[in-house]
C-alpha cells in the first residue's frame, strides 16, 4: 500500500495518507466468541434484543480509555452503565435529539470513539449512508440499537431466562441469553455465545453451553 504523508515545515506529519487503520477497540473476554476481532474502527454495528448487550459492548472499550456517546436513550440508568464498565467521565449523552438526531450522531462521530444511538422510527437511506461513511472516515464505531440497514456486524440477543427467584420469593439476579452475530466481509461467518447478562455479580460472564449444563446435572 502506498504510504503518503503531508508534512509541516518542521518535518512533523500534518496529514497521514498511508492507509494505516487504527487498532480495534477491545471487548469483554466473554464477547470474543461473537466478536473475535473486537470493535473494528470505522464500522457500523447493529445491536438488538437487550440493552444490557449494548452496555456490555461499550463497557470494556470505555474502561480502556475510549470516549463514548449515547444518543436517543431518554431513560437510561447511570448505575447500569457503570456496572458494565462504562466510565461516566468519558461519556456524552444526548437523551432526546428529536429532529436533530442525524446531526447529533454525525457531530459525535467526529469527536468520540463509539457512538451508540437509537435510530428514529423512520430512517432516511441517505442519512444511513452518510453516517456510515462518517464513521469510516473518522475511525469511529457507530453502534445502532435497533434496525440499521447494511450494518457491518449485527448482534442479536435472544431467549433471556432470569434466575434468582425460587418458591415464589427472592430477587432476579442473573439472566442467561443467547447472542448471535452475523454480518459482512470478515464478519460473514455466523457466531453464537451463551452469556450471563447480567451475571449474578454484575456485568457480563460467559455461560456454559446448555447441553453441558444438563449433562453435568445428570
* pTM strictly above 0.85: no
Report how far residue 8's alpha carbon sits from residue 87's, in angstroms, rounded to the nearest whole number. Answer: 36
Task: Give per-residue pLDDT as tens, 147-188.
Answer: 899 999 999 999 777 775 554 444 556 889 999 999 988 788
Query: What's the pLDDT score for residue 7?
Result: 44
| CB-based contacts of 208-216 (< 8 A; 24+ apart in sequence) | none
Residue 213 counted as domain residue? no
The DSSP secondary-structure symbol of 193 reads: E
Residue 188 counted as domain residue? no
Residue 172 counted as domain residue? no
* Sequence-separated (6 or more) residues with CB below 8 Å from residue 115: 68, 69, 71, 105, 108, 109, 135, 140, 141, 142, 143
Q: What is the CATH number of the domain that holds 72?
A: 3.40.50.300
Tens-binned pLDDT, residue by residue, of the chain (218 aa) = 334 444 445 444 444 444 556 899 999 999 999 999 999 999 999 999 999 999 999 999 999 999 999 999 988 878 888 989 999 999 999 999 999 999 999 999 999 999 999 999 888 999 999 999 999 999 999 999 998 999 999 999 997 777 755 544 445 568 899 999 999 887 889 999 999 988 888 889 998 754 443 333 34
Query: What's the pLDDT score for residue 78?
Result: 82
Phi, psi of 99 (to 5 degrees): -70, -10
Query: What's the pLDDT score for residue 55?
Result: 94
**Domains in the chain, number:** 1
* Sequence-separated (6 or more) residues with CB below 8 Å from residue 18: 1, 2, 3, 4, 5
Which residue's C-alpha cell is 460467559?
206
Instruction: Determine the structural domain holding residue 146 and report its residue range.
Output: 22-155
Residue 113 counted as domain residue? yes
Query: What's the pLDDT score for residue 198?
Result: 85
Residue 139 counted as domain residue? yes
Query: What's the pLDDT score for residue 80?
Result: 82
From the CA atom positions of the chain, what is the Rg in Å? 19
Residue 147 counted as domain residue? yes
Amino acid at each position: 500500500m502506498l504510504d503518503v504523508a503531508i508534512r509541516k515545515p518542521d518535518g512533523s506529519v500534518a496529514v497521514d495518507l498511508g492507509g494505516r487503520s487504527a487498532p480495534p477497540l477491545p471487548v469483554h473476554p466473554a464477547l470474543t466468541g461473537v466478536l473475535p476481532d473486537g470493535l473494528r474502527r470505522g464500522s457500523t454495528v447493529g445491536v438488538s434484543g437487550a440493552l444490557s448487550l449494548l452496555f456490555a459492548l461499550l463497557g470494556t472499550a470505555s474502561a480502556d480509555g475510549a470516549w463514548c456517546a449515547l444518543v436517543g436513550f431518554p431513560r437510561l440508568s447511570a448505575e447500569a452503565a457503570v456496572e458494565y464498565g462504562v466510565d461516566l467521565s468519558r461519556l456524552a449523552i444526548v437523551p432526546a435529539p428529536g429532529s436533530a438526531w442525524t446531526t447529533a450522531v454525525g457531530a459525535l462521530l467526529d469527536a468520540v470513539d463509539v457512538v451508540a444511538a437509537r435510530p428514529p422510527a423512520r430512517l432516511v437511506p441517505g442519512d444511513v449512508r452518510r453516517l456510515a461513511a462518517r464513521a469510516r472516515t473518522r475511525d469511529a464505531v457507530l453502534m445502532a440499537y435497533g434496525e440499521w440497514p447494511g450494518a457491518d456486524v449485527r448482534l442479536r440477543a435472544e431467549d433471556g431466562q432470569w434466575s434468582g427467584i425460587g418458591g415464589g420469593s427472592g430477587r432476579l439476579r442473573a439472566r442467561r441469553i443467547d447472542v448471535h452475530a452475523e454480518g459482512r466481509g470478515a464478519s460473514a461467518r455466523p457466531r453464537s455465545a451463551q452469556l450471563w447478562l447480567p451475571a449474578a455479580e454484575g456485568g457480563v460472564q460467559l455461560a456454559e453451553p446448555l447441553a453441558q449444563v444438563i449433562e453435568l446435572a445428570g
